[in-house]
Copies of this chain bind each other. A is one copy, B any other.
Amino acid sequence: MNASEKKVAVAIVGASGYTGAELVRLLVRHPQAEITALTAGRKVGRRLGQVFPHLAGAGLPDLVSIDAADWDAAEVAFCCLPHGTTQDVVAGLPRHLKVIDLSADFRLADAGLYGRWYGQAHRAPELQKEAVYGLTEVARDAVSKARLVANPGCYPTAALLPLIPLLEAGLIDARDIVIDAKSGVSGAGRAAKESALYAEVAEGVQAYGVAAHRHAPEIEQELSTAAGEPVTVSFTPHLVPMNRGILATIYVRLAPGAAADDLGAALQRRYSGEPFVGVVAAGEAPSTRHVRGSNGCLIGVFADRLAGRAIVLSVIDNLVKGASGQAVQNMNVMCGLAETAGLEQAPLFP
């Protein structure tokens, strides 16, 4: 980096949760970004190191309220607030800011669909229309011109990266997609809930939100675009006793004439130039351990024993490519920086 180069000034709204902390982890090592403001709700006034001791040494500003942040000094805002309240906050931010929102508030293009799944009418429908769905590898051009990016959900990221190219290439049947996803616990956030207690999660596995999880319509929206027809999916998330990681095991029916090898080859072609998405060798199954702490997504394809079917495996770190890492990737694209800036770290294993 040229030391004289000006850094992008960044504010993180809602820095006291796990995605906020992960943004900090990535951005303090970003050669062209600088954190100038951190906001919080209940934890206003505290030092970041009190809320996240692992970040105590980062030399960052204290947590302030949204109103108290110096917005003139910032160019980019990452928004890590819960859905529902986010739309009001983003609507109130100065228009000179590039905004990357990690909530669900701007992901669904259809306001009616948002209302049905999130239980309230959208209060910023104009922003909803303006927002670009920021699955970077798929929407890079649109992201590069966007002012407001809706950062994809963690499950959608893991499912869409393998499925979109396969649907676009007409290699799989859009009406028979089963997504069985397994996630670490950090996806539930840092709010104190009985269901996220160590003793409730350790030493067990369970499905949740069966046939009713809010990431389903988000997945379907993007798959419908890719397929050129309305797509409904079977999507079942599971909670696994680990901090980080999502594995999506996706069961698909092959299009007439297509073989599992074709799927692997198509994905290989599609992602050959991409720094963050890789296809593993035939016969290998990617593990979430292989991407922990990194912005990578690894995909593997197997022929199923059921004739005419294939199994597609996809792994990400839910806090990185599934949230804060992809958000930084989007910032890089929006600001004309190298897309990999701040995201080059190797995975942490074991």
Binding site for B on A (CB under 8 A): 1, 18, 21, 24-25, 28-29, 52-58, 175-176, 178, 180, 182, 184-186, 188, 190-194, 196-208, 210-211, 216, 232-236, 238, 240-245, 247, 249, 251, 278, 280, 284-294, 296, 302-307, 309, 311, 313, 315, 344-350
Q: How far is the CB of A126 from chain B (nearest CB, A)?
A: 30
Picked from B55, B202, B291, the residue with its CB within 8 Å of the CB of A54 is: B291
Which residue on chain B has the smallest CB distance to residue A197?
A: B196
* Chain B residues with CB below 8 A from A289, complex form: 53-54, 200, 203-204, 206
Q: How far is the CB of A335 from chain B (nearest CB, A)?
A: 21
Q: CA A202 – CA B185 in complex, angstroms?
A: 10
Known: A180-B180, A186-B350, A241-B241. A292 touches B247 (CB 8 A): no
Copies in the complex: 4
Q: How far is the CB of A207 from chain B (nearest CB, A)?
A: 5
CB pair A234–B305 under 8 Å, yes or no, is yes
Which residue on chain B has the smallest CB distance to residue A199?
A: B350
Q: How far is the CB of A281 from chain B (nearest CB, A)?
A: 9
CB pair B53–A286 under 8 Å, yes or no, is yes
Which residue on chain B has the smallest CB distance to residue A296?
A: B57
Which residue on chain B has the smallest CB distance to residue A203?
A: B242
CB pair B293–A348 under 8 Å, yes or no, is yes
CB pair B54–A210 under 8 Å, yes or no, is no
* Chain B residues with CB below 8 A from A304, complex form: 211, 234
Q: How far is the CB of A298 from chain B (nearest CB, A)?
A: 8
Picked from B28, B211, B243, the residue with its CB within 8 Å of the CB of A203 is: B243
Known: A197-B197, A304-B234. A210 touches B311 (CB 8 A): yes
Given contacts A53-B284, A204-B289, A206-B288, 9 further A-B contacts (CB under 8 A): A24-B346, A28-B346, A56-B280, A188-B199, A192-B196, A198-B201, A199-B243, A199-B350, A205-B240
Which residue on chain B has the smallest CB distance to residue A347?
A: B54
CB pair B182–A238 under 8 Å, yes or no, is yes
Which residue on chain B has the smallest CB distance to residue A27?
A: B346
Known: A182-B238, A238-B247. A280 touches B53 (CB 8 A): yes
Q: CA A347 – CA B184 in complex, angstroms?
A: 18
CB pair B178–A199 under 8 Å, yes or no, is no
Picked from B196, B232, B287, the residue with its CB within 8 Å of the CB of A204 is: B287
Which residue on chain B has the smallest CB distance to residue A209?
A: B285
